[in-house]
Amino acid sequence: MSSPSGKYFAPKPGRFGKQVVFLVGPAGVGAAATFTASDTTVFDVPTPFRKLYFEKAAAHARTVPAFSAAGASGIGVATVFRVRAGTSTAITASLTLDTLASTVTSFTILAAASANAFYVAEGDNFEVQVSMGTATVTTAAADLTFVIEASVLE
């Protein structure tokens, strides 16, 4: 059976039998995300109570943030973590927020992370930590959103 347009859904090769979910963690949607100098801000990404496997992560902001020490190492950087039993494990490299493009910018997966770090058990969750270093915000991020793509295992 085909749809009225004559098109139908078919998974891409390599994704047969996989259910992919997108987890969106807004950081001040409709408002400015607030960051404090010399502090780390944590954004929880809602995670279903299922066994998942981390695939990709990305960030987007309608208004790209700017910082007083733009381009300096460790200033305004976001990192995705898997949290299990209160312990956070980094699964992406840091993404400098003031370099976000007007389109979605992908995080780089940590090659050094253990394979187990990408598995999310029931009760685990994802979080994004934004470290400010000593910088202050000169232009606030508007509609900053973090998106995580994960495969449902069970």
5-9: average pLDDT? 45
The b-or-e profile of 17-55 (16+ CB within 10 A means b, else e) is eeeeeebebbbbeeebbebeeeeebebebebeeeebebb
pTM of the model: 0.78
Q: How many CB atoms lie within 10 A of CB 127?
A: 17
* SS3 label, residue 118: helix
pLDDT of 6: 45
Tell me the pLDDT tens digit for each residue of 26-81.
665 444 567 777 788 888 887 888 888 888 888 888 778 888 765 566 678 889 99
pLDDT of 10 above 60: no
Cα 97 from Cα 63, distance rounded (Å): 11
Tokens found for residue 122: 């029931």
* Minimum mean pLDDT range among 6-20, 35-49, 90-104: 6-20
pLDDT of 90: 92
Rounded CA Rg of the chain: 17
Calculate the average pLDDT of the chain: 77
Cβ pair 82, 89 in contact under 8 A? yes
Kindly compute the dihedral angle of the four CA atoms of residues 118, 146, 126, 153, in this order, to the nearest 10 degrees: -50
> What dotted CATH number matches 19-152?
2.60.120
Cα 148 from Cα 55, distance rounded (Å): 8
Query: Where along the chain do its domains lie?
Result: 19-152
